[in-house]
Amino acid sequence: MATAVAPRMFKNFINGEWVESRSGKAYENRNPANTDELIGLFVSSNSEDVDAAVDAATEAYKTWRLVPAPKRAEILFRAAELLVQRKEDFSKDMTREMGKVLAETRGDVQEAIDMTYYMAGEGRRLFGQTTPSELPNKFAMSVRQSIGACGMITPWNFPMAIPSWKMMPALISGNTVVLKPAEDTPLSSYHLVQVLTEAGVPRGVVNLVSGDGPNAGAPLSQHKDVPVVSFTGSTAVGRIIAQACAPDFKHCSLEMGGKNIIIVMEDANLDLAVDGAVWGGFGTTGQRCTAASRVAVHKDVYKEFVDRLVDRVKSLKVGDGLDASTDMGPCINEQQLKTVMSYVEIGKNEGAKLLTGGNRLDGGMYAKGWFHAPTVFGDCSPKMRIAQEEIFGPVVSVIPIESLEHAVDVANGVPYGLSASIYTRNVNRAFQATRDLYTGIVYVNAPTIGAETHLPFGGTKQTGNGHREAAIAAIDFFTEWKTIYIDYSDKLQRAQIDNV
């Protein structure tokens, strides 16, 4: 007789141990491509769990900050090696947990590997400055100092990459971590924390509390012993986090929504532009902060481009991301699917021309998942809601444009400023666009997605609050400058007074 297998229970990681939640509650994490598949049970943490995690991180900070950075780096190098060894298993788990196709989840894990190696390398740099003093027999320098226990709140669309973008620069800089991953994707964060632990991160330096935003995320962002909060997610929640951080002047980094654009000029290589629009619009089911949810096409090539785009989109195979023939997986959950469906109705009511898709996929192989057909709207005007608001799903709005100036106006005419791209073979236009597009990232002859870990990542306007992730910019966020003057003249020397 077959016996039912109990679902695996995943706990919080606090002070070096896997522990139950004080709430005694747990929630289910299910595969969005097949909701019959239970990934596991994860604890629903509350403010007491957050307190315990912050206490552990605060205590561990006292010693971790004094570990030489090259020694901290050795642990990160080991963690990167473990990630390399387990990449395939972690990628498969990630596809089961959040639906994107295996090639993309391999990319997500690879991004964590890249970030971990990159930040480990920083352990032997973390450069400051030395500079001459204006006074004789005086030495001047600036050094980076760590800050303390960092709260990290992350979204589900890059479940390992985004936590790594925050944890690795924080750790190499000498800070400790409390991570609250997205409700829908705690398993990938669990794997990352497990790897760091095996690599030798000391007790209390990395802590993980799973759970929802209001019960676990909010107490973390408000906690008086958390001087740094790094958040990636929606603009609406980012605004709440910013307000929670303001009274205590916490360092607060917000990476939020996007409404990114691909501009296709009349001299573009159209094959390349179509490839870019399909990948940028429908990769990760359109659930990327950098997704190309708008495509602005010059009127001279509009019809030809749109015909080719629609043909390609119609041929995309939607399904389970573990199936090697699948091009696009499901939406993350029922709520996200409903949001996508509601925007399709909004687009139709606004008078946009539905060119393909526009419907939920259900029945047969889709019966147990949150699938939506890849959807293209044509003849959109730039002020339509589908061309202004972040949908976060497989919906692309195509907008006809008259000129580069017109395209740049359209591109900049949204509340967000994350990523933009232009397809042109005219170098003058390419440079003009890179200058005038007011976004954090610009691509030429490539889609809006595809960040590399050693370059700054983030956006303008309602996408961000001026900080950047990745690259040295991340180190800048997780450290503070300390300026040190050493006067070896043996007498009082007054700056600005004794040297004139």
Contact residues for ligand NAD (CB under 6 A)?
153-158, 180, 182-183, 212-214, 217-218, 221, 232-234, 237, 240-241, 255-258, 289, 390, 392, 418, 459, 463
Min dist. Cβ of residue 342 to ligand NAD (A): 15
Min dist. Cβ of residue 422 to ligand NAD (A): 21
The question of whether 74 is a catalytic residue gets the answer no
The whole-angstrom separation of Cα 183 and Cα 11 is 13
Contact criterion met (CB below 8 Å) for 46 and 211 = yes
Nearest to ligand NAD of 123, 393 (CB atom): 393
Q: In what order do the strands lie in the sheet with 480-487?
A: 129-132, 138-145, 480-487
The backbone torsions φ and ψ at residue 386, rounded to the nearest 5 degrees and listed phi first, read -70, -15
Note the Cα 248 to chain centre separation in Å: 25
Nearest to ligand NAD of 258, 374 (CB atom): 258
Active site residue: 289, 331, 380, 469, which one? Answer: 289
Nearest to ligand NAD of 258, 382 (CB atom): 258
The whole-angstrom separation of Cα 359 and Cα 379 is 19
Look at residues 80, 76, 135, 64 and name the one whose alpha carbon lies nearest to residue 112. 80
Min dist. Cβ of residue 185 to ligand NAD (A): 8
Active site residue: 97, 255, 390, 469, which one? Answer: 255
Determine the 3-state secondary structure of 152 from DSSP. strand
Please enumerate in sequence order all residues whose Cβ is within 8 A of that of 192, keeping only pairs 6 or more positions apart, or say none: 83, 112, 160, 163, 164, 167
Long-range contacts of 245-253 (CB under 8 A, 24+ apart): 245/221, 248/224, 250/226, 251/147, 251/227, 251/477, 252/228, 252/465, 253/229, 253/464, 253/465, 253/467, 253/469, 253/477
Residue whose token pair is 């894990």: 109
Min dist. Cβ of residue 212 to ligand NAD (A): 5
Contact criterion met (CB below 8 Å) for 294 and 309 = no
The question of whether 289 is a catalytic residue gets the answer yes
Residue whose token pair is 């202004």: 388
Nearest to ligand NAD of 379, 389 (CB atom): 389
Nearest to ligand NAD of 55, 390 (CB atom): 390
Look at residues 489, 490, 486 and name the one whose alpha carbon lies nearest to residue 140. 486
Min dist. Cβ of residue 424 to ligand NAD (A): 26
Nearest to ligand NAD of 204, 459 (CB atom): 459
The whole-angstrom separation of Cα 151 and Cα 168 is 13
Residue whose token pair is 């491509």: 33
Nearest to ligand NAD of 175, 221 (CB atom): 221
Min dist. Cβ of residue 391 to ligand NAD (A): 10
Q: In what order do the strands lie in the sheet with 176-180?
A: 17-19, 12-14, 206-208, 176-180, 149-153, 228-232, 251-255
Min dist. Cβ of residue 200 to ligand NAD (A): 27
Catalytic residues: 255, 289
